Every structure is written in C-alpha cells, then in structure tokens.
Chain A
Amino acid sequence: MRHGVARFVTGFLALPVALYLFYVVWPFAQAAGYSLTDWGGYSDSQRFVGLDNYVRLLSDELIRKAFWHNVFFLITVPLFTIALALFLAFLLNVGGREDRAGIRGVFGSAVYKVIFFFPQVLSLVVIAVMWQQIYRTDRQGLINGLLIKLGLGDPENPIAFTADPEPFLGVPAVLWWLLLIAVWSGAGFYMVLFSAAMQSIPKDIYEAALLDGAGRFHTFFRITLPLLRDTISVAWVYLGFIALDMYALVFVMTPSQGGPNHASEIFASVLNFTAFQKGQFGYACAMGVALAIFTILLAAAQLRITRRDRIEF
C-alpha cells in the first residue's frame, strides 16, 4: 500500500476503532477483571479472589441445570428453525409445478414470503405479549379457548403452557413451548436468507436435474441442500448465539423469570439473578465470561466442522 493511502485509511479508522475499543472491548475486559473479584456492584470496594468464582461455578447446581437447558435450545432451536426455513424457502422458490416458465415457487409465494417474514419486523416484546394471549392459561386464551369450545380441552384443567414444569421427552414442557415461539419468530428471517441463496443457484442446474427425471425430493437433497451448505452453516452459528441467549423469552414468558421452580432457568437468567438480585457482580461476571468462552469455542468448532471446498457458480 502506498504511504499516503495508509495514512488516509488509518485516519478514517482511528475514531471508530477508538470508540469500539472504549465502548465494546474495554467493558469486556472489565467484566473479565471483575470476574476475579467479589465485587457487589454498588460500591467501589472489591477484593481480588483469583479463580474462586470459576471454581464455584463448577459446583453450582443451578448453573448446571441452566447449562443443560441452554444445550437443549442449542440443539433444538437451530435444528427446527433451519429445517422449517429450508422447507419454506424451497417451496417458495423451487417447489412449485414445473411448466414452460421453468423453475418457480408454489402459487402465491410472494404473499407467503411476506407473511412468514412478518414476525421478524415485530419487536420481541410485542411477540411476547401476543404469545401471552395465545398461551393464556384459562378459557380466554386463544389455544385453550378454542380447545374448550371444541370440547377437546378440559375447562377444569386447561393447558398451563409456560407454567408447566412437567417433563415431555425428558425436558420440562415450558421449554418446548418457548422453543415453539423461538422457531416461529426466527424461521421467517432464515427463510429469506435461504431464498436469496437459492436464487443464486443457477436455474440450469435444476433444469438439468428435471430433464434427468429428478422429483422435488431428490432436487432438494441432491442439489439445493449441498449448494446451500455455506449459508446454512452461517445460519447455524447465528442461531447458536440466539439459543445461548433466549433471555428475553424466558424473562417475559415464564413465571418468576426462569420458573416454575427453575424449570426454564437458563444461563442468562441465573446471571441476571446473581448480579442484580443477589448482588454478586463478581460471580455473575464469571458466569458471563464462561458463557462467552463457551460461545466462541462453539462457533469456532462449528465453522471448522462445516468447512469444505466452495463450489463456484
């Protein structure tokens, strides 16, 4: 690079980098620092305790429970969201009847695209309020009301949804109900992402497959899926981050923020409780740092496993 250009670029970058360092990187570093202290959050006095907080983390039952709940989301949220998004994107782009116009989506796909994407433009609070009404636990709830009207629900014992800790397939029911919301609200965005990727696949590949007599099933698994590999991999990492968070849904939708009786406790809800209600900021920072390390490792592993030769077209 020529000398003048370097100076020019540096000049432009200096301010944003400084801002980034000060407002993003420095707080991260501070949190890591606090995680080695017993700071309570309200005073300027703190004692250095070394790795005590991290040792404590290993034997904390609540954190262990929260960890497994996060793992549940980590597996299910990307799996179901990507599966649903792929299915929808396929139908909207290449799933329609083949005719003289070539490959196209199902009838009315433009309308569906808007409908499926819609949850993405709603704020999470709006989504939560809406689902609170859908999940309402008496006959005024959308689902319970319908079921009771149809004679399928028991008015004396309506579905408790997010207030139900009873295990289903070994996982508290409340987590499954939260999963449904997460998948519903996330699928639209990834549908659009996959649609864009699908549209960049040349049509002649599909046409060649059609000529060879491939049906929708084979087209999808033999052509679309392999060619979307990169996009899906990125989506998986994004959804992994979302699954490790899930805080807003748990906070708004579950009784006692992580209940009933810790049945929906996740990393972030324990962290919030530890920092802001127990007043153990040091310990909470240790949780945050642990979660960050876990997230980074996961993303790295994810991208490494799925790395392959790129197909150019």
Chain B
Amino acid sequence: MSITPENLGDLSRRTLLRRAAAAGLLATPAASLLSACAGSEPSKSDDTGAAKSKDNPFGVKDGSAVKVVIFNGGLGDQWAKEDKVVFNAKHPNITVNMSSTQKIKTEEQPKMATQPSDLVMNSGADMMDRSTLINEGAIEPLDDLLTAPAWDSEGTVADSLLPGTVGDGTQNGKFYVVNVAYTVWGNWYNAALFKKEGWQAPTTWDEFFALAPKIKAKGMAPYVHDAVHGYYPRWGLMASIWKTAGKQVVVDIDNLKENAWKADGVLKALEPWEKLVKDRLLLPGKLDHTQSQQAWLDGKAAFIQVGTWLKNEMSATIPPGFELTLSDYWSNADDKAPKDVFAASGEGFVVPSKAPNKEAAKEFLRAILSKAGSAKFAELTKSLASTKGSGDNVQDSALASANTLMKNGGSELISIKFQDFYADLDKESQNLSEELMAGRLTAQQFVDKMQAAADKVAKDSSIKKQTRTA
C-alpha cells in the first residue's frame, strides 16, 4: 500500500485509540484463507421459544434477528464473519444482520437513545466514550454473560477469558464491556541486529544506559516513540510508575487519591525517562506512529515502545530478516513490581440498553468468545484474542515473543484506568507525557502538573467519579 492512503486513514482514525489491540489500516487479513467451516460442530439444538438451556442460556427466541455492528479497522471484519458461522451452527434460525464500519460513534451514537443496534463493537478513533455510555445508562451490564456456560469448553465464559479481561470491562462494580482482543506492550527491538552486533537486550534501565553509547556509535538512535499521540509515551511512563512504585500507587492515582502522584517511587520511575531525553538518546524529530515505526524498521533507532499490533500495522514494509521482538519495559534494581507486564484486553463490544434483542446479542458474544471463534480471530489477525489459548496454533515470531513475555511476567498485569474514567485526565496526561518526552518538562514538573490536573478533576462536581478496586 502506498503512503498516502495510509495517512488518509490515520487522519480520521487517530483521535484516540486507547485500547487499540491491533491498529493500522494496512493489513486486512487475506480472505482467501477462509474455509466455509469454522470448526465448530453444528449441534442439533431444538430450542423453541425463549426457553433457557445450557445451549441457550439467555433464552434467545428462535426466528428472531440480531443486528451486529463491527469496527472494521486494523483487524478487518473477516473474523467476525467467521463468528457468524459459529453462531449460526448452533442457532440456524436466528438471522444475524452484520455490518461493519469505521465510524462507530458517528453512526451509532445518534441511535443510542431510540433504536440502537443490538451489539456494537465500540472501537477505533471514532468510538463512543465509555464512561459516558455507562453514566448515561446507555449500555447494559453483562454480568450474566460471565456466569453463562462457555460456548464450546468447560466452565463459564468468565473461566475461558485471559486474566484482566473481566477487570478491563468492569466499571462501578459491573461488567459492561466485552473486550475480544488482547494486547501486550513493551520495548521492541530487532533480534537479528542485536545478534549481529553482539548486543544483549537490556532488562533494566542501567543496562540500557550502558548499551546506549554502543548503539549511538553505530550511528543509530537508541530509542524512538510516537511523539504526536500522547498516549504512546504515556504507556511507557505509566508502566514504569507501576513497576517502580507498585500497584497500589497506580490504584490510588486512578482513584484520584490526595497526593497520589507524589507517592514514593513515582518520581523515581520517571527519572530514567527524563534522562533518556536529556542525554539525547531519542531519534530527533516529532514523528507519528507510522513514521516512528518505519524509522525503527529502517534501522534508525534500536528500540521502539508500542503494542503487539505493530506487526500487523507495519506488515507491508517489514524488511526481510528483520526479527520483531518484544521485550518488557525496563525496570530499576529496587523496583516493587519489576516483573509485572503491561497487557490488557481491548476492542470492546457493548450491548445498548435499548437494544431490541439483547438476548441474542449476548448469545453472539458467547460465540465470539468461543474456542472456535477466538482461534479464527488469532489466525486471521495475528493478534491474541481475549479467550485463553486462541494463539496456540498460530505460527508467528512476534506473537511468540509476546507469549514468552506473558509467561515470564509477574502475578499482576499492569493496567491503568484513569484515562478511561476521566476524559480531562486522559487529555492532560497525554499532553504532559508529550511535554516530558520533548524535554520541556522535568520529571518533577510532570508529577506536579499531573497532581494539579487530578485535583481539578476531583473537585469538579460536573464529573462523575469512578472507583477502581482491583
């Protein structure tokens, strides 16, 4: 694909891709791989009416129709068509009207108050603000989906999900958003290059700062990141805060607790980032996501921080022999949680409260989260699904490094909530992250300004407050 259409797509897409699991409009997975059969054995169910059963836990009416809207972004929509096959194998008499779009908010928001679709994949740049949807009572709590039996495995739906997925979709103690994809973040490097140069991939900041001069000596910048979208650098900053200061500090930050940003370890976590900028270890220029990723692929920088959708996004321009390898964000010697990995579920489905066929919407979600459906998802998108074991049979080196990272990780997953809770803090933290990485703020100033922004939100009575428990 040429450069222009890619950028055109980005213009409309890049407002906020907070929970991007696989971004980029580059690669729509090859449709030719598909077979008509999704691998799910068609069970002869004889549901009649709205009776509830193990195969029909929500009592979907036979002969009814369900309207499903898919976000057609970097993941494409072919995987969803596979889920339709899975669904119809069990419910042949329920009509699935599936449509896909990139303009979720533009098309769905006006219908929310009157005649919404039954199931909406709320994702991409043009997504509906999640807190607002919940505060306005516009979407349905889906706790009964979690306790329902899994589609094609033992136990409940909740049992079949990867850790963090239920927590990521929960707000105010209720489960609202069903994330179907799973993303791991960290520092990427080219393993082939490191092997050739005899460099050891660092695991701590000290190791990185020791290696940096050697990288610079090769005419390469040690580090690059997207400097246009503030949530890119924010991932790294927040991961460091979690690792250095520990989970409780991040929970306090998310809960707008007094002086949470001034807690022990926050400043210390940010200081290596400040040093990275001050020592001029960043690639010069304020590049956006694809520009910085391409610069990294071109060998202009050794490390780039981004999530596991990277390979899908850049697939058209990855040079031969380039080994995309994901490593964990670097830690310090006396960090509280150095092993915890930044991973989260994303690409969330919601069921509007006024949807006419909520039962079928939930049943369709059960099909998406099935073993058969999620395996197709991983195969077609080269991204993990939020269902356990989705990538077991997919051969891909980048995905494998992410899997290794997950296996060696600590007991907890790094997760940050405040940006989903409060749009103001989201914006402010993005802006300040950019400023810190541009060298216009010191770590201390960043902390002070974030505290001030958090205090302002805490005092603003027009903003509904959220609570993070886990």
Contact = CB atoms under 8 A, between A and B. Distances in A.
Interface of A: 38, 40-45, 56, 125, 128-129, 132, 136-141, 144, 155-158, 160, 163, 165, 252, 255-257, 259-262, 273, 276-280, 283
Contacts of A140: 291
Given A42-B128, A138-B284, A260-B434, A129 B8 contact: yes
Interface string B418-431: 00000110110011
Contacts of B463: 278
A158 B109 contact: no
Interface of B: 4, 7-8, 11, 15-16, 105, 109, 112-114, 128-129, 131-133, 135-138, 227-230, 280, 283-287, 291, 295, 423-424, 426-427, 430-432, 434-435, 438, 440, 462-463
A172 to B, nearest CB: 12
A277 B11 contact: no
Contacts of B11: 125, 128-129, 252
A283 B463 CA distance: 12
Nearest to A129: B7
A279 B284 contact: no
Contacts of A276: 105, 129
Contact of B129 (A43, A252, A255, A279): A279
Contacts of B7: 129, 132
A142 to B, nearest CB: 13
B129 A259 contact: no
A273 B132 contact: no
- Give the top 9 A-B pairs by smallest Cβ distance, nearest first: A279-B132, A138-B285, A163-B286, A43-B136, A42-B138, A137-B285, A42-B136, A137-B286, A261-B431
A138 B135 CA distance: 43
A76 B291 CA distance: 32
Given A43-B112, A259-B434, A156 B133 contact: no
- Residue in A158, A260, A273, A283 whose Cβ sees the most chain B Cβ within 10 Å: A260
Nearest to A260: B434
Contacts of A158: 284-285
Given A128-B11, A132-B7, A160 B129 contact: no
Given A128-B11, A132-B7, A260-B431, A255 B132 contact: no
Contacts of B228: 163, 255-256
Contact of A261 (B129, B283, B432): B432
Nearest to A162: B286
12 contacts: A129-B8, A138-B291, A163-B286, A255-B286, A256-B427, A259-B430, A260-B431, A277-B423, A278-B424, A279-B129, A279-B132, A279-B135
A42 B431 contact: no
A255 B285 contact: no
Given A42-B132, A278-B129, A157 B230 contact: no
A277 B438 contact: no
A139 to B, nearest CB: 8
A132 B228 CA distance: 12
A160 B133 contact: no
A42 B112 CA distance: 6
Given A43-B113, A156-B284, A255-B228, 14 more contacts: A38-B462, A42-B112, A45-B137, A138-B287, A141-B285, A155-B284, A158-B285, A163-B228, A163-B438, A256-B228, A256-B431, A277-B16, A277-B129, A278-B132
B230 A255 contact: yes
B435 A260 contact: yes
- Residue in B230, B284, B432, B438 whose Cβ sees the most chain A Cβ within 10 Å: B284
Contacts of B435: 260-261
- Residue in B135, B283, B286 whose Cβ sees the most chain A Cβ within 10 Å: B286
B295 A138 contact: yes
A133 to B, nearest CB: 9
Contacts of A262: 431
Contacts of A155: 284
- Residue in A139, A158, A261 whose Cβ sees the most chain B Cβ within 10 Å: A261
A56 B15 CA distance: 26
- Residue in B105, B133, B136 whose Cβ sees the most chain A Cβ within 10 Å: B136
B39 to A, nearest CB: 38
A164 B7 CA distance: 21
A229 to B, nearest CB: 39
B284 A273 contact: no
Nearest to A128: B11
